[in-house]
Structure 1
């Protein structure tokens, strides 16, 4: 005789595995888990595909940056010349390329109106992979440059280089400083420093 209060026959645990409602609930749960797993896999594969496509696009494009920067001829009759060396270190040509440069004093009093030098390349060109783009920019026709040199004022140079590939537009920028306030021997160029600041 079973103890008082105990159920006769199979317990509810014995019937749990044979209950049709339980089997249906388990099947539904397994189907939901399968759908979630498939969705997670699909999302991960899409993310991996997008990451791979972005990496390929980043590799298969032109990349142009400044590789050298100097100023020459401060004491010569031909006037100062800004010398820039740009290089395309990407695997394909940089098309429709054009350089733009601005110069202005590093420190400008509040009461001094801005009077920057602006220079832009007239024609667009193509910069081939690993090709050097030498840019000698004469500053002789800009009287403010002569004034800055005579006053020993440090000058900031900012430049941008626009280029494209098919229907995609790219660009890079750089910044440099001409330390005209520092002592230098006659005929020697001033100290400079420069860096590439952005690439898009």
Structure 2
């Protein structure tokens, strides 16, 4: 028997990423579906002060609306020279929601005069897993690195083209998908979630 788990996103790349991580971990008995595969429901705005609050609220809303166990994430870029911003505002830093190019260009312009040694930052991802009548789980993954001066690479989205992970010379958008899964903020958070997903699968 396979149980459906809703990943509360319309981002096809996130769906592919989680399915790939579950396959690699050998976890079966779970079918990951996205918001486009369930009846539409009103999605509350992200008003939390932290990634954890936003992820948890999204997962709880998804469970309440669909009755399915739900996973939700909230992630973003924290830039040292911008006092941790854009942070939870990463997806709408330039005003509109999800305009990756405008968001990225705004961060680059804000860092225009910042020297290389002060361009540190980190991708952060919080993931919540909510199952009816079971304790909620919220985990956090952090991926430290630095911000480069121009976009490089096409294998990614958001701020990937301007983020170079610690210990590497390539941007996140220049990494292969499998490599990124192992080391990214979302990959790190999802790996922390794997024991809980495995336990859930074993209940089937």
The interval holding the TM-score normalised by the smaller chain is: 0.3 to 0.5
Instruction: Name whichever structure is richer in helix by fraction.
Output: 2
Q: If the length of structure 2 is used for normalisation, what is the TM-score? A: 0.34
Instruction: Name whichever structure is richer in strand by fraction.
Output: 1
Q: If the length of structure 1 is used for normalisation, what is the TM-score? A: 0.35
